[in-house]
Amino acid sequence: MKVLLAETAGFCYGVKRAVELAETTARECGGCVMLGSIIHNSSVVRRLQEMGVRQVEDVSAVCPGDTVLIRAHGEQKQTIERLRALDIRCVDATCPNVLRLQQIVARADGEGRVPLIIGEPNHPEVIGAASWSEHSVILPGPQAISAWLEEDPARCDLPITAVAQTTCIREIWESSVEILKKECTNAKIFDTICEATHRRQSEAARLAAQVDAMVVVGDRKSANTKHLTEICRERCSRVVQIEEAGEFSPDFLTGCSVAGLTAGASTPACIIKEVYTTMSEEIKTTEQAEESFEELLEKSFKTLNTGEKVTGVVTAIGPTEVQVDLGCKQAGYIAIEELSADPNVKPEDVVKVGDEIETYIIRVNDVEGYAMLSKKRLDAVKVWEDIEEARENKATLEGKVTEENKGGIVVNVKGVRVFVPASQSGQPRGANLSEMIGQTVSLRVTEVNRARRRVVGSIRAVAYEARQAAQAEVWNNIEVGKRYTGTVKSMTSYGVFVDIGGVDGMVHISELSWSRIKNPAEVCSVGDTLDVYVISFDPEKRKISLGVKDRSTNPWDVFMSTYKVGDVASVRIVKLMTFGAFAEVVPGVDGLIHISQIADRRIDKPGDILSEGQVVDAKITAIDEEKQKISLSIRALLTPAAVDEPVAEDVPDEESAEAPVEE
């Protein structure tokens, strides 16, 4: 019998962050107040209380001068406002995923939309998120959604923003989304399920399907622990949820050969370890009790044969060999050179006395009563088995590029040479592959010939899947106004294309800078990093329009705060037209000098007096704030009594004076 422990069991990022904030605040402030349980785990709460953290359930119990911890599940908007009104110092331990959920609900409220939260109505996270809109609707799942829509068919036309409790079961969310997409005409969908929660639930489902019994560790108030238990019970007939090792019953494992162990996101590692140790000791005690005298006697007469795999226990480690108890009359020995493929490794770094070790029998000497063993050869066999299994399961392996070969590169994967053709290296045709030497890469095994010791792999396949996943992530979460940090991939005369994570968006030349530019190369180059935001997007045509301009520094606002009618400005001529000249007053804001206002005499064309790039002084004669247009005059400075021409709105602007350009 053995125990399989889930890799993702225990604290998630949000819970770990909240507990660390609570401990730090308690130490720095000599104690503090937590508003409700910082996380759903009674043992953690007790430990924090011992550190001086006082738990209260309402703001009215907070005293002046207290430092208040906002729990990981977040808090209601009204509570936050009360704390601010009382000028109470707050340490916000709200999980970032929960904070995002609250922000989406608040934004939906500001847009006049109805936030629909899929989750448990009485859970503090859901109650807190719902408080950020007076119109929030909380429904537990697809059946409740169908009933809500059938109750009032007009609700199908409501502008709905759908979100999920961060610990919601994935199947419940996907079924709910399917109904909303089918029935509602104006629904925005935001998948707010925590990715760590999804991985934990998926792993628990896989583990429960392959064991005889499943143990789930976590506080009974924890929603994600409860969901783990529900998921496990759908796939395993014997499941128990406990809070600590003392609740575990030895009889629970009776008749089991494999047991599984997982834990909720609020369960400390020390409790998981204690439960795992308890289960392992119980298994060991049970197996020892079941082993009969006849079986022990039969073991003592067990024969060893060259080429077999055998398991034993390390009993001694010497300078030249490691001694292994094989449970029979022969003693087992592993020469140091047969312990590991690394000739520089120390024996004590590989094994320790008491370790159970699986080895390969090289030679048996029945006369002298010993067997020579090799761990190195068995490891090599296992590596080949792992590689063959990786090919069958299309799993991703990691390795280091060791050399450039004819037609490709060689990657060392666990000591096995894997050839990657140039076409599968993920590099452009003609690239210098020697630059990849020393890099750690991820690849997919495409061909294995164990007899010829030949393995072929593909880096490109892994990169392609990663890019596809990244693109799906972008399209699932994109929204107008969202900001990204991207890389300039290519440039044209009318703009640049920026990679924002597997998806390219276009920044039009007019959105690159407030200043007038003729070519994108004036402000950026291929490979540059740009902070961009989404102006618009079309999922069907797979097109995204991006912007770079900082809207908080609008040049028109700069102009209006600097100049007024009658001021004289030093301007730069940027464009000559038949009817006048456009001049830059401040970067990003141009004014028009009408042809009649260029000189104190009649001229045939502006180019007779002015040239592009020339800097001249001009008087501001008119400002049209609504149309953001400015009239300038050089003539007014030459002839004070000159009569101004009509304002710029009476003549064509620069854009209308030219033929439209197709983007």
Tokens (6 digits) for 570: 């030093």
Tokens (6 digits) for 623: 């400002």
Q: Which residues of 135-148 are buried (b: 16+ CB within 10 A; e: fewer)?
A: ebbbbbbbeebeee
Quote the CA–CA distance of 259 and 251 in Å, as a whole number.
Answer: 13
264 within 8 A of 295, measured Cβ to Cβ: no
Is residue 291 annotated as a catalytic residue, yes or no? no
Written as one letter, the residue type at 206 is: R
Catalytic residue among 75, 120, 125, 321: 125
The vertex-229 CA angle with 223 and 234, nearest 5°, equals 130
- Identify the DSSP state of 598: T
Sheet holding 32-35, edge to edge: 53-56, 32-35, 67-70, 89-92
Question: Would you give the end-to-end CA distance of the chain in angstroms?
Answer: 68
Burial class (CB in 10 A: 0-12, 13-18, 19+), 94: buried
Which H, E and C letters describe 174-233, residue by residue?
HHHHHHHHHHCCCEEECCCCCHHHHHHHHHHHHHHHCCCEEEEECCCCCHHHHHHHHHHH
> How, if at all, do strands 454-458 and 440-449 pair?
antiparallel
591 within 8 A of 557, measured Cβ to Cβ: no
Backbone angles phi, psi at 241, to 5 degrees: -110, 125
User: So which residues are the catalytic ones?
Assistant: 125
